Chains A and B, each alone.
Chain A
Amino acid sequence: MRRFLSLGLLCLMLLSITVTAQAQTNSTASSTDDTAALELLEALDVESYTAKSEAITAILQSDDERARDWLQALLDGRLQRTEDGRFVLVLENRGRDWPVADVLTGEALGEMSRRDLERVGINNNLRNQLRSAIAVVDLYSPNVERRRTSAERLLGEVDSDLVQPINELIEQEEDDQVRYRLTQAVAIYRAEAGEMEGVEALDGSLHPRSRVALSRAANGDDPVVANAAAASLAGIEQQLKINRGLETLYFGLSLGSVLVLAAIGLAITFGVMGVINMAHGELMMLGAYTTWAMQQLLPGQPGLALILSIPAGFMVAALAGVAIERGVIQFLKGRPLETLLATFGISLILQQLVRTVISPLNRTVITPEWMSGSLVVNDALSLTLNRMYVLGFALVVFAGLMLIMRRTRLGLEVRAVTQNRAMARSMGIRATRVDIMTFALGSGVAGLAGVALSQLTNVGPNLGQNYIIDSFMVVVFGGVGNLWGTLVAGLSLGVINQVLEPWAGAVLAKIIVLVFIILFIQKRPRGLFPQKGRAAEG
């Protein structure tokens, strides 16, 4: 509460600042004030967080137009001090030596050892204070993006002092989104104060702050307002329920898409070729490590590296797959138990290889900017972007595989060889070559899954192990040898899991799904979409 009050005061002061700053010319403001500015910064470098808080207020009250940059630097932990007491801005803080620039003049000072730099520390309370302060400053920014985030931040933080200036801003504002948020912010304030106008304005708003404000209004003294608030709350709850359902569905589909990606390669090697490849998970791991390696090769361009990893991951895993097929599996044809044991051994070898050659520790794969964050549908529903990309990627991979299997010569030959090997050979199909190509395809798809997984989970030697069981489960559940089955099985298992999770917990949900599959397989041993005809007997 105290924070809100001080925020109002701040805003009033800022209003006067903006007026004076506009009146002043830029050149006079900065150079003359350097000593004063240094004093302001000095005040920040104290032990006590209370004193720091006061220093921040002092900086805001000053009419230095660099104040926002300082506060932002302080918020980001980039405002640091050298041993001789100079304030510098850290431009990049990776590694041991960091490039820095002088805070006052903006002059670049080259690289400095991090041992010689001392950060001006802040804590969460100060971080909140800084964010609110910057939000208020940003309301006057010419940059629309800044105004949007700032308006968003003000929801639920408006107090009596802020209402007037915000109302003035609403009239001047050109951007619809900012205007909407600011209106909402004022409405929340009004509703909490028990005003009918505010309650009416909030009707249908899904933002959590609006809900909190309405439920406070519903407990208010005025029965008319309280009833109105309760009525709109009921409507909002209904809306929220629908959104929640949609959210769970999205979660389910996204988990399902991961399962599909992990299983679809196996659906080809295991489902179509009949080879039990326990090293499938490790092929995924290789794909994930390829992503990491690409990012190492292209530092500073994680997005480009990720896109290039798609073909690279496919190739690496496909080549590894060919090596496994030529080196081991071809000698064990028709002996599933031995294939299982041998490929299990290969999976252990690959894991240990990565541990020895690269590291037993997990590797950091950076998520590119355009993949982090979420797509906001409304205030109660936002879809995380990384999972949306993976969902799309899974569908594209699936479509591509279907095309290959249905529409290309390779697909035709694969189907021919798996249905009747001897007959296919007598028709002039080189069965060995088809075996290699099919296995390479299945392995390559595992590599693609690894590239996608590197964005969702840890890239480490154990990555594959976590998915191998799930992959087999999906393939068996969907029906061996049926790609559509794998798609449907993966997506539905994902949705079932996510629907169960909220009330059963993550552990129990997994168990229930497993038990369900076991029972299902008892009833229908050939899965959801059993293969029909003579091929199924073989």
Chain B
Amino acid sequence: MTTLQHNTHTRSTHSYQKQAQSSRSPGRLATALLTAAVMGASTQVIAQDDDPIKVGILHSLSGTMAISETVLKDTVEMLIEQQNEAGGLLGRQLEAVVVDPASNWPLFAERARELLAQEEVDVIFGNWTSVSRKAVLPVVEELNGLLFYPVQYEGEESSENVFYTGAAPNQQAIPAVEYLINEVGIERFALVGTDYVYPRTTNRILEAFLKDEHGIAEEDIMVNYTPFGHSDWQNIVAEIRRFGEEGKPTAVISTVNGDANVPFYTELSNQGIDAADIPVIAFSVGEQELTGIDTGPLVGHLAAWNYFMSVDNDDNYDFIDAWIEYTGDDMAVTNDPMEAHYIGFNMWAEAVRKAGTTDVDTVKDAIIGVTVPNLSGGYAAMMPNHHITKPVLIGEIQDNGQFDIVWQTPSTVAGDAWSDYLPGSRDLIADWRKPMECGNFNVVNGSCGGSTAAEEAEAALAE
């Protein structure tokens, strides 16, 4: 049943794409004429090169993650459309190939295989949850594809075929905690998260960081996990309230994912916990999530991201205008993972231009060091560990669903694949440049750890 659905879906998106291409005629026509002229001049051999460059989009369009991922699909489609309007890439048009993994983690791997093996796409933009990325990883490595992953994640990974354009923990969680300690004077931390790999790993890193770097005592850290979509927060919030009543300034660090946040914040405000008493800093609540929420109870709570829609910058305003025009919705919002796709797409396009081909191995080498503007007025560079440089921003939620930026790092921060605060991963670095070409190089014993170092790190995580 799903296959059928999916097939029709792909086809309809294709035809939509074609319609879109032909409907925006003037620019298109010129490009087409140009291409035709080039074609006439060239020989039969490169005729094959006029086939469109295929861009795979692997985002859930149904199921629980559809809320967050649908806009990312639209973002990539918009970027492709813009690129095509600007004349395509290497003189060729781009074509989106959309599949729907339906928030089903194993299905992500199947769809990725289909994109690479059947559709033979040149690059994939996709995934949201870490579980889905872990599912796709072996497929992308086996079939030598390119995957751009746009969401903040827990780190402890660096693959030759994956480019992480979202934040690693040192680009979001760690600076956020430092902000709480240094600027707000927080001394007690409640780490509250949804029960899956990203919150668990992030909280483990944060716990180690708080204890080792800031000397926070064991009893001043509270950790709590809840299932996906949890809606009964009474007890946990009461616990947080009591935790915060001991006389020390307290904050909640929330890795609660998805719509479980709404009842969480509502319960906080109903039990009379105000942002001024116990601020909550969230790593998964962005503008998109706030559109489904009555923001009244959230005002003053914090979020840490690398981009906010409220960033005062002309590039950002242009992006927002383009997005509103593309969606046809006046109230459409932009968010951090969208910016990550914006950066990732531009980096890939730049690397393809630099390499003169879409060949995966060549692009993979060419993209390291590529620098493109981000939307907050700075530049993002692709590092040798396949992570990028990003500024870290802290915003306070306002009652109109936007963030007021209250703090930001003075410069951009380079993503760190392996956390410096976990015992197993402390000694690992990733560098995909020749001659090292290793995702988990152990600097202590000087060898590319291969499986053992990665396993050590994983064992450290699992304990």
Contacts and interface: CB of A to CB of B under 8 A. Distances in A.
Given A127-B300, A502-B239, A362 B262 contact: yes
A235 to B, nearest CB: 17
What are the 8 closest A-B residue pairs judged by CB atoms, nearest first? A362-B292, A208-B245, A212-B247, A457-B231, A123-B406, A251-B234, A384-B270, A458-B259
Contacts of A457: 231, 262-263
Among B230, B235, B400, B406, max chain A CB count under 10 A is at B235
Nearest to A98: B400
A174 to B, nearest CB: 26
A488 B224 CA distance: 30
Interface stretch (B20-28, B62-70, B362-370, B385-393): B62-70
A400 interface: no
B74 interface: no
B284 interface: no
B87 to A, nearest CB: 31
Nearest to B234: A251
A251 B269 CA distance: 16
Interface in B188-234: 195, 224-227, 229-232, 234
Nearest to B394: A123
A123 B276 CA distance: 10
A258 B297 CA distance: 22
A462 interface: yes
Given A362-B292, A364-B292, A374 B227 contact: no
Contacts of B234: 251, 254-255, 384, 387, 498
Contacts of A462: 64, 229
Given A362-B292, A506-B230, A251 B263 contact: no
Nearest to A131: B276
Interface in A54-100: 76-77, 93-94, 96
Interface string B276-320: 100100000000000111100101101000000000000000000
Interface string B380-420: 00000000000000001011100010110000000000000
Nearest to B245: A208
Interface residues of B, number: 53
Contact of B235 (A123, A251, A363): A251
Contact of A460 (B70, B247, B259, B399): B259
Interface of A: 49, 76-77, 93-94, 96, 114, 119, 121-125, 127-128, 131, 208, 211-212, 215-216, 247-248, 251, 254-255, 258, 355, 360-367, 372-374, 382, 384-387, 456-458, 460, 462, 466, 498, 501-502, 505-507, 510
Contacts of A355: 62, 66
A255 B232 contact: yes
Given A462-B229, A507-B226, A360 B67 contact: yes
B184 interface: yes
Contact of A93 (B66, B224, B291, B399): B399
A389 B230 CA distance: 21
Contacts of B406: 49, 121, 123-124
B238 interface: yes
Given A360-B70, A364-B292, A460-B292, A466 B229 contact: yes
B266 interface: yes
A350 B321 CA distance: 35
B267 interface: yes
Contacts of A387: 234, 270
A121 B64 CA distance: 35
Pick the most buried of B226, B292, B398: most chain A CB atoms within 10 A of its CB: B292
A367 B294 contact: yes
Contact of A363 (B66, B246, B272, B292): B292
Contacts of B448: none
A506 B227 contact: yes
Contacts of A363: 292
Given A119-B404, A123-B396, A507-B225, A360 B66 contact: yes
A96 B329 CA distance: 12
Nearest to A95: B331
Contact of A384 (B62, B226, B267): B267
B142 interface: no
Contact of B238 (A114, A124, A247): A247
B375 interface: no
Contacts of B294: 364-367
Contacts of A114: 400
B355 interface: no
Given A123-B404, A456-B266, A457-B231, 6 more contacts: A94-B400, A124-B276, A212-B245, A248-B235, A382-B271, A456-B263
Given A248-B235, A384-B270, A386-B270, A124 B64 contact: no
